[in-house]
């Protein structure tokens, strides 16, 4: 049996019914096969335990992973209402393995390491690639990725997205079988006859001169070139416009002007979204800001973001020998806000489907961060360097392969 995938989505007021309906729609088109894997992406508007119980009422004992979101995505585009999206997969040649690492806030690296260790042990260390669903509001996401790589290898292919909560910024949730978790990393491993490819792009370009991070603590950027971090915006826009960053989360200025970390071994920029500005002028970013790193102010717009999605899809599709059996999209929730409407956001999904094929089962969600190799590299394993991204679209394609 080749790898089969199908997607269902449902909305409504009863979380149990919504979960059950989404899963039923997904499994109904598996050609009579039982699902081996269920992937669930859900709005936090639904009571999480009841929603997942509804999914499990249909999925039975199938392996289940997923997380809460800042918006759900299917082949129809971004969901226009709070929804539950489910992908069901069945195969006798591709094998799926899942595990969890808890305590992300207390020790992010160890949480990542435990998730990877649990998954790898089930696969007898025969994993092909690793997908992660991490709490988007707890711990250092970059450290979680490092923990996974410590366990699986420095250049092991890792992809995924950090859970959201519809931009409430209170609590996100991760799913493993019947359990609803927080402060955790849920890992999904793929082994057996599987071929996969990643596409990673953001569309922002650098402006101004390079600057140096002279003081930072995790995701808090304190100083650039020895000055309060906010000065990078003040010097470019002037104090009045830069002050808008202090007024609300994800101000419009931050949507179009993230910070880019220069990668010494690549032409790519690793983006960091400025989430908050503190009274001392420091900036809380959506990911780790390393001290002594070179950073640039980046500029982008809706049109460039859509072009980036097309380019990411092209890169992923070109690496597969034939049409994908399934596609999973991790797109930053800042991109969703940049598009300003779900109708505009549908263009991002449309251009992806133009490249990979409109009939390919597709699921995804708007994330609080993305994880993927820089540049999407997974073929030249020595250059496969997984990292945490912001404001980026990540595309994961896979199909049944020809050898184990």
Residue 244's pLDDT is 66
Mean pLDDT of the 67-93 span: 96
Domain end call among 279, 297, 315:
297
* Confidence band, pLDDT 50/70/90 cuts, at residue 247: low
Residue 297 has pLDDT above 60, yes or no: yes
The Cα 179–Cα 17 span in angstroms is 18
Per the DSSP assignment, residues forming a β-bridge with 96 are 190
The Cα 96–Cα 184 span in angstroms is 19
Residue 250 has pLDDT above 50, yes or no: no
Looking at every residue in the chain, the average pLDDT score rounds to: 92
Residue 342's pLDDT is 57
Same domain? 233 vs 98: no
The Cα 148–Cα 130 span in angstroms is 9
Q: What is the pLDDT of residues 187-230, one digit of tens each?
A: 999 999 999 999 999 999 999 889 999 999 999 999 999 999 98
When computed from its CA atoms, the radius of gyration of the chain, rounded to whole angstroms, is 20
Q: With beta carbons less than 8 A apart as the criterion, state whether 134 and 106 touch.
A: no
Residue 399's pLDDT is 95
Helices 302-318 and 342-356, packing angle to 10 deg: 20
DSSP 8-state class, residue 331: E
The Cα 332–Cα 142 span in angstroms is 16
Say which residues have a Cβ less than 8 Å from residue 186's Cβ, sequence separation at least 6. Answer: 65, 66, 67, 98, 99, 100, 115, 132, 133, 134, 174, 175, 176
The Cα 214–Cα 294 span in angstroms is 10
Same domain? 24 vs 41: yes
Same domain? 175 vs 244: no
Same domain? 231 vs 276: yes
State which residues form the domain around 142: 4-201+304-400
* DSSP letter for each residue of 263-290: PTTSS-EEEE-EEEE-TTS-EEESS---
- What's the length of the chain? 404
3-state secondary structure of 340: coil
Q: With beta carbons less than 8 A apart as the criterion, state whether 150 and 109 touch.
A: yes
Same domain? 276 vs 392: no
Say which residues have a Cβ less than 8 Å from residue 373's Cβ, sequence separation at least 6. Answer: 157, 158, 159, 198, 200, 384, 385, 386, 387
Residues of the chain with pLDDT > 90, as a percent, come to 75
Same domain? 210 vs 194: no
Neighbours of 361 (CB within 10 A): 20
3-state secondary structure of 180: strand
The Cα 309–Cα 398 span in angstroms is 17
Residue 278's pLDDT is 86
Same domain? 164 vs 252: no
In whole angstroms, how far apart are CA 294 and each of 71, 217, 227, 262? 32, 16, 14, 6
Same domain? 128 vs 197: yes
Same domain? 311 vs 268: no
Q: Could you give the strand order of the β-sheet that contains 179-181, starting from the edge strand earlier in sequence? A: 4-10, 84-90, 37-42, 63-68, 174-176, 179-181
Domain end call among 297, 318, 346:
297
Same domain? 260 vs 395: no
Same domain? 134 vs 168: yes
- Say how many CA atoms lie within 13 Å of 101 toward its Cβ: 33
Same domain? 267 vs 129: no
Single pTM value for the model: 0.94
3-state secondary structure of 389: strand
3-state secondary structure of 170: coil
Domain end call among 269, 297, 325:
297
How many domains is the chain partitioned into structurally?
2
Task: Give whichever of 26-30, 264-268, 331-335, 377-381 has the largest mean pLDDT.
Answer: 26-30
Q: φ and ψ at 333, to 5 degrees? A: -65, -20
């Amino acid at each position: 049996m080749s790898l089969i995938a199908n997607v269902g989505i449902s909305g409504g007021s009863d979380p149990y019914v919504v979960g059950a309906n989404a899963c039923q729609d997904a499994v109904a088109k598996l050609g009579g096969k039982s699902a081996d894997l269920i992937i669930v992406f859900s709005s936090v508007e639904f009571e999480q335990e009841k929603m997942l119980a509804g999914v499990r009422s249909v999925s039975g004992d199938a392996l289940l992973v997923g997380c809460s979101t800042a918006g759900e995505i299917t082949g129809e585009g971004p969901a226009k209402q709070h929804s539950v999206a489910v992908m069901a997969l069945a195969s006798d040649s591709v094998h799926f393995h899942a595990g969890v690492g808890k305590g992300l806030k207390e020790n992010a690296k160890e949480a990542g390491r435990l998730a990877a260790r649990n998954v790898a042990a089930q696969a007898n260390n025969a994993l092909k690639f690793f997908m992660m669903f991490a709490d988007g509001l707890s711990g250092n996401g970059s450290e979680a990725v490092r923990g996974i790589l410590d366990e699986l290898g420095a250049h092991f292919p890792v992809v995924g997205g950090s859970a959201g909560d519809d931009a409430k910024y209170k609590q996100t949730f991760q799913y493993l079988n019947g359990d609803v978790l927080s402060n955790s990393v849920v890992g999904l491993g793929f082994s057996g006859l599987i071929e996969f490819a990643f596409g990673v792009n953001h569309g922002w370009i650098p402006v101004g001169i390079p600057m140096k991070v002279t003081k930072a603590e995790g995701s808090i950027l304190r100083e650039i070139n020895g000055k309060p971090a906010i000065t990078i915006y003040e010097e470019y826009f002037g104090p009045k416009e830069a002050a808008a960053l202090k007024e609300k989360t994800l101000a419009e200025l931050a949507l179009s002007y993230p910070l880019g970390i220069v990668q010494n071994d690549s032409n790519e920029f690793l983006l960091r979204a400025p989430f908050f500005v503190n009274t001392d002028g420091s900036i809380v970013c959506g990911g780790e800001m390393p001290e002594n790193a070179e950073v640039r102010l980046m500029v982008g717009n809706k049109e460039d973001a859509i072009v980036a999605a097309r380019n990411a899809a092209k890169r992923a599709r070109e690496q597969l020998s034939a049409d994908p059996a399934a596609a999973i999209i991790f797109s930053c929730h800042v991109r969703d806000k940049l598009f300003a409407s779900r109708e505009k956001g549908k263009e991002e999904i449309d251009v992806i489907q133009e490249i990979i094929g409109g009939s390919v089962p597709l699921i995804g969600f708007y994330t609080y961060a993305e994880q993927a190799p820089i540049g999407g590299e997974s073929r030249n394993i020595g250059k496969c360097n997984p990292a945490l991204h912001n404001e980026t679209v990540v595309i994961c394609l896979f199909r049944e392969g020809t050898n184990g």
